Amino acid sequence: MTTSAELIEVSERRSAHNYHPLPVVIHEAHGAWVTDVEGKRYLDFLSGYSSLNFGHGNEKIINAAQEQLKNLTLTSRAFYHDQFAQFCAGLGDLTGKDMILPMNTGAEAVETAIKVARKWGYEIKGVAADQANIIVMEDNFHGRTTTIVSFSTDPDARADFGPYTPGFKIVRYGSAEAIQEAIDDNTVAVLVEPIQGEAGVLVPPDGYLLDVRRICSENNVLMIADEIQSGLGRTGKTFACDHEGVVPDIYVLGKALGGGVVPVSAIAANQDVLGVIKPGQHGSTFGGNPLACAVGNAVIELLNTGEYQERAAKLGELMHARLRELIGKGVVTVRGRGLWAGVDIDPSLASGREVSKALLARGVLAKDTHGTTIRLAPPIVISEEDLLSAIDKLADAIASF
């Protein structure tokens, strides 16, 4: 057997250092539990940044993937295939939208939304050529492409990757007034995360999404909700926008849409918006492939039961109640919604990374973000007992500093 130390050494030597992984080498996983190469078990509180909402090795998703692997994996969009119609109709019904444009990664779906909004702006809204602007938020995270990092406010994500794509206006997250002030006749869209995940699970003030919706409607501007991390059950509803009864013009989806099996992303919008895209104007060799659609169909079926949303809401309340008990005991604040939390650790005690390492030693996988925040997002299938034991371990890890 190869030891984890050896595998880590080769991984570090032979891969680009674009990540800084915790020192654990995972070999297998089921539900909320992962096992490393040495046989030690951990509870997964990162869930592939919410890609594993339905748990590792979810039986229905794996069965769908295995069945599809036997039949057909790739056609390209040059032809139809028999999983495509159900995927588009099913995701359209889940989002309440007419049309789907499938891609693979989240960043590609965000890029798709940007392209669609610009085209809509020129062809439908009547913005003069090349004058369109899109309003985005400070501390956003929408992916890693050159256009997307152009409007990032995180120096690590952005610095030295210029020249940058123009056409974006950055405003403060959580302030409807800031959007109102930034909007002009050339604004085609407002791109917003209903909850900012990478920024530390930042929940905007109550009524913010409703205000964004109203301002967009009043100004003939598309509201684009990046629900890649917040959507598909994580917050206790199908979409985080649902908490305010808000329906964006474009949903951007990814992560859990691929069931933790394959990258599947998509945007969902009505015909009056997505209809602007004609053959040859956008695409992806792998977008909407048969395996992706079969997995996506299984995910949509799971969401249609409503069980996961309900479970995330119920377990989320329990998790947040327990986490709030840690405030003043090494925890400064707790934010989040559903089975999703950002926990700010007292910076005088330890960094987020140090706490993550202490959690790792206690059998819980979690990841810090922005220095002193630990984000917690276990698979929604986690048992109540495992959830509570992990929070006890977090309390113990913090108390060790």
Ligand X SMILES: *Cc1c(COP(=O)(O)O)cnc(C)c1O
Q: Where along the sequence are the contacts to ligand X (CB under 6 A)?
A: 49, 105-107, 110, 141-143, 193, 197, 226, 228-229, 254-255
Tell me the closest approach of the beta carbon of residue 226 to ligand X, in angstroms. Answer: 5
Tell me the closest approach of the beta carbon of residue 14 to ligand X, in angstroms. Answer: 22
Question: From the candidates 119, 237, 255, 367, which is the catalytic residue?
Answer: 255
Tell me the closest approach of the beta carbon of residue 30 to ligand X, in angstroms. Answer: 23
Which ranges of 160-304 does DSSP label H, i.e. alpha helix?
A: 176-182, 208-218, 271-274, 290-304
23 preceded by cis ω (within 30°)?
A: no
Q: What does the block give as tokens for 323? A: 């986490």
Pick between residue 109 and residue 398 the one whose CB is nearest to ligand X.
Answer: 109
Tell me the closest approach of the beta carbon of residue 4 to ligand X, in angstroms. Answer: 25
Tell me the closest approach of the beta carbon of residue 95 to ligand X, in angstroms. Answer: 16
Plot region of 177 (φ>0 → left; ψ -120 to 50 → alpha; else → beta) = alpha
Pick between residue 97 and residue 142 the one whose CB is nearest to ligand X.
Answer: 142
Closest CA to 19 of 400, 382, 369: 369
Tell me the closest approach of the beta carbon of residue 44 to ligand X, in angstroms. Answer: 17
Residue bearing tokens 């934010």 = 335
Q: Under DSSP, is residue 83 helix (H, G, I), strand (E, B) or coil?
A: coil
Tell me the closest approach of the beta carbon of residue 335 to ligand X, in angstroms. Answer: 16
Q: Report the residue closest to ligand X, judged by CB.
A: 106
Measured distance CA(234)–CA(48) in Å, rounded: 13
Question: From the candidates 54, 84, 87, 141, which is the catalytic residue?
Answer: 141
Pick between residue 202 and residue 323 the one whose CB is nearest to ligand X.
Answer: 202
Burial class (CB in 10 A: 0-12, 13-18, 19+), 19: exposed
Pick between residue 105 and residue 238 the one whose CB is nearest to ligand X.
Answer: 105
Residue type, 44: D
Longest CA–CA span in the chain (Å) reads 64
**Long-range contacts of residues 75-82, Cβ cutoff 8 Å, at least 24 apart:** 75/289, 75/290, 76/285, 76/289, 77/283, 77/284, 77/287, 77/288, 81/289, 81/290, 81/293, 82/290
Pick between residue 228 and residue 303 the one whose CB is nearest to ligand X.
Answer: 228
Pick between residue 31 and residue 106 the one whose CB is nearest to ligand X.
Answer: 106
Q: For residue 240, what is the enclosing H or E element?
A: none
Which ranges of 258-382 does DSSP label H, i.e. alpha helix?
A: 271-274, 290-304, 307-324, 352-361
Pick between residue 110 and residue 312 the one whose CB is nearest to ligand X.
Answer: 110
Measured distance CA(141)–CA(193) in Å, rounded: 8
Measured distance CA(300)–CA(257) in Å, rounded: 8
Assess whether 54 carries a catalytic annotation: no
Pick between residue 137 and residue 298 the one whose CB is nearest to ligand X.
Answer: 137
Per the CB < 8 A criterion, the answer to whether 281 and 70 are in contact is no
Q: What does the block give as tokens for 275? A: 């209809």
Measured distance CA(368)–CA(356) in Å, rounded: 6
Question: From the candidates 139, 226, 249, 386, which is the catalytic residue?
Answer: 226
Assess whether 156 carries a catalytic annotation: no
Tell me the closest approach of the beta carbon of residue 202 to ligand X, in angstroms. Answer: 12
Assess whether 141 carries a catalytic annotation: yes
Residues identified as active-site: 141, 226, 255
